[in-house]
Chain A
Amino acid sequence: MAAWLERNVPRILLAPSFLAVLVFVYGFIAWTAWVSMTRSRLLPKYEIEGFIQYERLFAAPRWDTAMNNLFIFGALFIVVSMLLGLLLAILLDQKIRTEGALRTIYLYPMALSMIVTGTAWKWIMNPGLGIEAMVRGWGFDEFAFDWVIDPDMAIYAIVVAAVWQASGFVMALFLAGLRSVDEEIIRAARVDGIPTWSIYSAIIIPSMAPIFLSAFIVLAHLAIKSFDLVIALTGGGPGYATDLPATYMYAMAFSRGDIGQAASSAMVMMTVVFAIVVPYLYSELRAKRG
């Protein structure tokens, strides 16, 4: 009995969480997949009707806007955060005395909830309260900074807030990467007469490829599941100009009473996440084994 217990204690301990994950993650994925194939509206129905929800989804202009926004937001958010993070990391890598304090300051935004970030930036960018009002107060009466209320520019306002939040984290990641390069390699390069920018661009940064990949994966999944920032900053507006797939899904499920649309959009989002994460996991696991 004791021996049996000893052998099975790990299984017994893990069983509840395993069951919970099985039901609440995979069970509900399966449920959502099912519902996305039905004519569910306010209440779920269970007769499979094929792909009509997906046809409706891809025909809906609002979904089009959401996907477009995801593309603009995702691309800008990832590229700008990485560039800014890398730049900050390289600047901090110059052995300045206040490094510890600066690193903490840059990292802090990541500790904030997206809701706080969104609300703060909503006020900062509000034409009547924030930057525009301040600069006009200095006497520049013509100055305009009204991205949050401009349907064409509002998505870029969200990019600004998201970059502000994430680039410190990317910087910390890259700084660790820069520091992991053997000091002797850098010394060798200096003796070899290689200028500093070449040391970074030709020697250090190429050897950080795995860190770039990790940063990309983290940022990409943040972008795809972005929801709270949009809700806090623009509420998806003006109109539905800043809708992202996640806010689209939320609107369909909880304010428009269209569970079928919500389920099908959720499935599309999951597919996009898988398309990014699965190759990453695959390459990681293969590298570990090989």
Chain B
Amino acid sequence: MEAMLEIRNLDKSYGATEILKDINVSAEPGGFLVLVGPSGCGKSTLLNCIAGLESISGGSIHIGGRDMTHVSPKDRNIAMVFQSYALYPTMSVARNITFGMKVRGVDRATRASKLQDVARQLQIEQLLDRRPSQLSGGQRQRVAMGRALVRDPQLFLFDEPLSNLDAKLRVEMRLEIKKLHHDLGATMVYVTHDQIEAMTLATKIVVLKDGVVQQIGSPAEIYRRPANLFVADFMGSPAMNLIPARTSRESGGTRIEIERTGGAPVVLIDTRNGDLPEEVILGLRPEDIAEAGFRAGEEVQEVKCLIDMVEPAGADTFVVSRLAGRQVTARLHSETTAQPGSTLDLAFDLGKVSYFAQDTGERLN
């Protein structure tokens, strides 16, 4: 299947400062591509390059199979939604949505019927005569989406559209965007710094850091097999436990030793991953450390640990223990009897483990 968006070897500099370095990304028709990374990593810049709002210093951008590298934004067949909503302040909601069509020469009847369709879809029919200043944040967001929807573009671009909303509304709108994507079957590129948004919306995630792509993959791939320490730490909440460990070969597999103060080292035997360097960072998600007896599997190994802290979080309870000087979080069921200061047998699921090189941070297994 030909990609709807294809970015090849894209570079972008402002003067001598390189903002984006050799970006290669593609989005399949109907896909939901999420660009995620910490603030300042170049996500908006990349999106603006796709939109043609910023010129690029090298590489090419194809949209719908056409080379759009030097095409102006209005001819790229895209629509964009911005973080600040960017509504035209002196125009009514209806005019905000239809003004672009009018300028492009769409006739009055078509404009009116498209406006009605979109207003119904987004439930903003009763707001059409208002000014942007008379709307709440969530309503403005809907109007901004309406303005994008009436374009009926090949590609939708979203730049952190939810980050100005409060937490509850954010979750609601997230679901609506997902539904919209499903209903329209359109291709979307979505920028966010919020990894939960990325995980819930994306069919494909691109993790960026300092203008360099760290990993591209499905949400499950990114979550299960992060390509390096940065991705492991950035994606997932609470974050993946990253524990320095020593390895050595043994008859039954690889022996993994984790230091701890005031006790014997934790020893785990990994029967599946050989060939590890002596010093590694071991990565385990909190849900892959459970209370002994609650997790079964060939690779599950139990270790007695001193519990430092217990944090009930409703459905789950998180407990924290110190290993190798790091706080290691385990996700237990809510009825656990764990007490701070007492010991508890924890089950480490080495079937889900990631190993990273201590020097480069790259994934090893």
Contacts from A to B (Cβ < 8 Å): 182, 184-185, 187-195, 198, 202-203, 206-207, 209
Q: CA–CA, A187 to B49, complex, Å?
A: 12
Q: CA–CA, A207 to B100, complex, Å?
A: 18
| Given A192-B147, A195-B103, A207-B90 contact (CB < 8 Å) | yes
Looking at the complex, which one of A184, A187, A188, A203 makes contact with B90 (CB distance below 8 Å)?
A203
B103 engages A193 (CB within 8 Å): yes
B74 engages A193 (CB within 8 Å): yes
Other A-B contacts than A185-B88, A187-B53, A193-B100, 10 sampled, CB-CB below 8 A, are: A182-B86, A185-B89, A188-B82, A188-B147, A189-B88, A191-B73, A191-B157, A194-B103, A203-B88, A203-B91
Residues B87-105 near A (CB distance < 8 A): 87-91, 99-100, 103-104
B99 engages A190 (CB within 8 Å): no
Q: Closest residue of chain A to B157, judged by CB?
A: A191
Residues B39-90 near A (CB distance < 8 A): 48, 51, 53, 73-75, 78-80, 82-84, 86-90
A188, A207, A209 — most chain B CB neighbours (10 Å)? A188
Some 29 contacts from A to B, beta carbons below 8 A apart, are A182-B86, A184-B82, A184-B83, A184-B84, A185-B87, A185-B88, A185-B89, A187-B53, A187-B80, A187-B82, A188-B80, A188-B82, A188-B144, A189-B88, A190-B53, A190-B74, A191-B53, A191-B79, A191-B157, A192-B100, A192-B103, A193-B75, A193-B100, A193-B103, A194-B100, A194-B103, A202-B88, A203-B91, A207-B89
A187 engages B86 (CB within 8 Å): yes
Looking at the complex, which one of A182, A191, A203, A209 makes contact with B74 (CB distance below 8 Å)?
A191
B51 engages A191 (CB within 8 Å): yes
B51, B86, B104 — most chain A CB neighbours (10 Å)? B86
Q: CA–CA, A184 to B90, complex, Å?
A: 15
- Chain B interface residue count, CB cutoff 8 Å, equals 26
Q: CA–CA, A270 to B147, complex, Å?
A: 50
Q: Closest residue of chain B to A206, judged by CB?
A: B90
Q: CA–CA, A246 to B151, complex, Å?
A: 59
B99 engages A194 (CB within 8 Å): yes
Tell me the smallest distance from the CB of B189 to a CB of chain A, in Å. 13
Tell me the smallest distance from the CB of A187 to a CB of chain B, in Å. 5
Tell me the smallest distance from the CB of A285 to a CB of chain B, in Å. 20
Q: Which residues from chain B contact A203 at a C-beta distance below 8 Å? A: 88-91
Q: Which residues from chain B contact A192 at a C-beta distance below 8 Å? A: 74, 99-100, 103, 147, 151
A190 engages B73 (CB within 8 Å): yes
Q: Which residues from chain B contact A190 at a C-beta distance below 8 Å? A: 53, 73-74
B74, B87, B88, B89 — most chain A CB neighbours (10 Å)? B88
A188 engages B86 (CB within 8 Å): yes
Q: CA–CA, A194 to B53, complex, Å?
A: 13
Q: Which residues from chain B contact A188 at a C-beta distance below 8 Å? A: 80, 82, 86-88, 144, 147
B78 engages A191 (CB within 8 Å): yes
Q: Which residues from chain A contact B74 at a C-beta distance below 8 Å? A: 190-194
B86 engages A185 (CB within 8 Å): yes
Q: Which residues from chain B contact A191 at a C-beta distance below 8 Å? A: 51, 53, 73-74, 78-80, 157
Q: Closest residue of chain B to A208, judged by CB?
A: B90
Tell me the smallest distance from the CB of A166 to a CB of chain B, in Å. 27
0 or 1 for each of B263-299: is its CB under 8 Å from A? (1 = yes): 0000000000000000000000000000000000000
Tell me the smallest distance from the CB of B336 to a CB of chain A, in Å. 48
